[in-house]
């Protein structure tokens, strides 16, 4: 298993995959740790989680550079990711007691209440694009709930996987409370079917989600799936278009466009369409693509060469289908997995870059005849992760009920926040992460009635 620097294609490090015997040893240890960890007082769990947050902040530069080296994230964004991980640790350390407190309910018994008990060993199958944040938003609530975690991370970020396990160990969590498995995708089915694994969560592609859901379903084990997205960014007739254009650039190019919740379909009502296209093109042209360790870089490389090839094929197919290429759209010469910020306009619903998910700095813009059609186009998608609508605040709150997604941002960009539940509908998956709702996905919500 290798980590390869996408900036130049150089091999950073090689790792031996876990043998079947090593996987069995780690599974056995995790299962043995669960009964001990679930009975650890909540205050003690919280102290260790706060220690993890402190270690993240103390090691911010080291962890940020590791992410940047392994998957190409611009270094400033990598630092922000580390800080967000520390935030989620602190958040659950502070809030878990309230989230897990028994809830008393008046019935015909002398006492009745609902309690929240951990399930056991939870398997997390995580992606490379946010190699720390995706893991911590599972691990912080899961560990605070009393579960133990097994991480099967993406195979191109093994250094991140091992660094996270080492961080939890340094924070004082017992051996087996959080374990990284260096295994390929073929090992996932056996892990889910193992009777010691109680549940699974996956952030990844739609095919991976279908596979995990099918296997877990056959074993009657709970799952949470956060899959692909093709988030709509809707600019309505009464929008303030200047801040909308600024936000459009951020929403589409964060993490070099490699984000499930990045805005991908830009739908603009007639009063603003020409100005929006012009302003977005101006802003895109000013972005700096290059070395992700350079503080001035806006867009780094994509994580792997095959992702560049796939993205470019989508752009070429979109032009053949009638989209107009305004900017970018050519694979640069030289080393590294770079792709330039690219603008496709006059898109229809049939254009590939508008219909399917793109994972890179490509903006696909479509005109709408009016505001009602704009909302209709936004909903005309198999995905339903997030959406951004630009209009008056009151109208936006009203329209939120009509938009088919798990998250709606009014006059802002879609982003995950520990205080709010996060997840999608339709082909974007099911279940929720973060907030109290996310914590309760992997607990036994148990009713207790006393005569």
Q: Which two tokens stand for residue 177?
A: 């409370």
Q: Which two tokens stand for residue 307?
A: 């992702």
What is the C-alpha to C-alpha distance for residues 85 and 80, in angstroms, rounded to an integer? Answer: 9
Q: How many other CB atoms are there within 10 angstroms of residue 190's CB atom?
A: 14
Widest pairwise Cα distance in the chain: 76
263 contacts 231 by C-beta, under 8 angstroms: yes
Q: Which residues are catalytic?
A: 226, 260
3-state class percentages of the chain: helix first, strand second, coil last, to nearest 5? 45, 20, 35
What is the C-alpha to C-alpha distance for residues 49 and 117, in angstroms, rounded to an integer? Answer: 19
What is the C-alpha to C-alpha distance for residues 360 and 47, in angstroms, rounded to an integer? Answer: 39
**Pairing between strand 383-384 and 425-426?**
antiparallel
Q: Which of 348, 331, 324, 428 is nearest to 384 (CA)?
A: 428
Q: How many other CB atoms are there within 10 angstroms of residue 95's CB atom?
A: 18
Q: What 8-state DSSP symbol labels residue 342?
A: E
All residues at 6 or more sequence positions from 170 whose CB lies less than 8 Å from its CB, including other chains:
51, 55
263 contacts 252 by C-beta, under 8 angstroms: yes
∠ CA 51-443-107, rounded to 5°: 125
DSSP string, 88-126: HHHHHHHHHHHHHS-EE---SSSEEEEEEEE-SEEEEE-
Sign of CA dihedral 341, 342, 345, 348: negative
């Amino acid at each position: 298993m290798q980590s390869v620097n996408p900036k130049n294609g150089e091999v950073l490090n090689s790792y031996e995959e876990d043998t079947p015997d090593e996987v069995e040893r780690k599974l056995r240890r995790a299962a043995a740790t669960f009964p001990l960890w679930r009975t650890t007082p909540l205050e003690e769990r919280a102290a260790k989680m706060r220690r993890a947050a402190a270690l993240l902040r103390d090691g911010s530069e080291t962890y940020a550079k590791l992410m940047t080296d392994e998957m190409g994230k611009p270094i400033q964004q990598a630092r922000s990711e580390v800080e967000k991980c520390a935030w989620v640790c602190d958040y659950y350390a502070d809030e878990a007691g309230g989230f897990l407190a028994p809830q008393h309910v008046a019935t015909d018994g002398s006492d009745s209440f609902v309690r929240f008990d951990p399930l056991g060993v939870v398997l997390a199958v995580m992606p490379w694009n946010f190699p720390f944040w995706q893991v911590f938003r599972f691990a912080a609530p899961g560990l605070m709930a009393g579960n133990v975690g097994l991480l099967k991370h993406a195979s191109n970020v093994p250094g991140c996987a091992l660094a996270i396990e080492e961080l939890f160990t340094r924070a004082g969590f017992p051996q087996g409370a959080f374990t990284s498995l260096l295994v390929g995708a073929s090992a996932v089915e056996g892990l889910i079917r193992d009777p010691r694994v109680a549940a699974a969560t996956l952030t990844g592609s739609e095919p991976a989600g279908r596979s995990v859901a099918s296997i877990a379903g056959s074993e009657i084990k709970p799952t949470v799936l956060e899959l692909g997205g093709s988030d709509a960014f809707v600019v309505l007739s009464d929008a303030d278009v200047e801040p909308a254009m600024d936000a459009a650039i951020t929403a589409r190019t964060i993490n070099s466009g490699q984000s499930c919740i990045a805005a991908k379909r830009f739908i603009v009502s007639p009063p603003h369409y020409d100005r929006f296209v012009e302003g977005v093109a101006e802003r895109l042209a000013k972005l700096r693509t290059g070395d992700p360790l350079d503080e001035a870089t806006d867009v780094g490389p994509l994580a792997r060469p095959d992702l560049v090839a796939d993205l470019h094929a989508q752009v070429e197919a979109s032009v053949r289908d009638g989209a107009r290429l305004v900017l970018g759209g050519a694979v640069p010469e030289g080393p590294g997995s770079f792709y330039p910020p690219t603008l496709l306009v006059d898109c229809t619903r049939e254009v590939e870059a508008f219909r399917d998910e793109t994972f890179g700095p490509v903006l696909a813009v479509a005109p709408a005849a009016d505001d009602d059609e704009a909302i209709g186009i936004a909903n005309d998608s198999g995905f339903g992760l997030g959406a951004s609508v630009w209009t008056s605040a009151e109208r936006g709150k009203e329209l939120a009920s009509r938009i088919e997604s798990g998250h709606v941002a009014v006059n802002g960009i879609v982003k995950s926040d520990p205080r709010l539940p996060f997840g999608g509908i339709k082909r974007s998956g099911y279940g929720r992460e973060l907030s109290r709702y996310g914590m309760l996905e992997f607990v036994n919500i148990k009713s207790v009635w006393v005569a």
